[in-house]
Amino acid sequence: MRIKIVFCLVIGLLNTVGTIPKVVWGKWVVRREVPTTTISCWGEPEAHKIIGTEIEYSEKIFRWNSIATKDPVAESKIMTAQEFHDENSGGSVSSSQVDFQQLGIKQAQTTEIRIHHADAHVSATTNEIPGDDILVKDTNTIVFSICNIFFEAKRVPGGK
């Protein structure tokens, strides 16, 4: 019993739940699709519609285009390269395979932020909102996936 309690306390310390972390507050523009070896539920036409769109994060709002979540609740944690690979790749060579190297993340670990929201209707194949589950690549770059296609977004200067 004590081991379970200690484990839960440790996990609770590793995951921070609250508002969206300040490190990503501001406006971001999706600049490109990141080439990975993943299997997606989208084709190129759907993926190209994400390029050039805007994401906004603040204490009070999470917005992608016209889809907005007010007073968002976010979860953040440190994600290691190995954890990311294990959680996002299949068990065989013919399955999706993605890692920090493919995403251009040079550190051994980074921050993952997951924003909780009601189901969205971006397409018939997913209820995800672009930018609702991100990896912080650096101060001005985030990476996220939608339908297992990875995208890179850049911070808009002065977009806070």
Please provide the DSSP assignment of 16-40 as one string.
EEESPPGGG-EEEEEEEEEP-B---
Q: Alpha carbon of 57 to those of 14, 98, 130, 140, 153: distances in Å?
A: 22, 26, 12, 13, 12
pLDDT per residue over 55-102, tens digit each?
A: 999 999 999 998 999 999 999 999 999 999 999 988 777 788 999 999
Query: Considering only CA atoms, which of 77, 101, 107, 78 is closest in space to residue 89?
Result: 101
Task: Specify the pLDDT at position 23.
Answer: 95
What share of the chain has pLDDT > 70, as a percent?
A: 84
For residues 129 and 108, the model is more confident at 108
pLDDT of residue 7: 39
Sequence letter at residue 79:
M
pLDDT of residue 42: 79
Alpha-carbon span 122 to 64, nearest angstrom: 10
pLDDT exceeds 70 at position 136: yes
**pLDDT the model gives residue 1:** 46
pLDDT of residue 159: 66
Dist CA 50 CA 65 (whole Å): 10
> Rounded to a whole number, what is the distance in angstroms from the first to the last CA of the chain?
47
The pLDDT value recorded for residue 160 is 61
pLDDT digits (tens, 9 = 90+) for 20-52: 999 999 999 999 999 998 888 877 888 899 999
Which pLDDT belongs to residue 121? Answer: 64
* 118 pLDDT above the threshold of 80: no
Reported as a single tens digit per residue, the pLDDT across 16-25 is 789 999 999 9
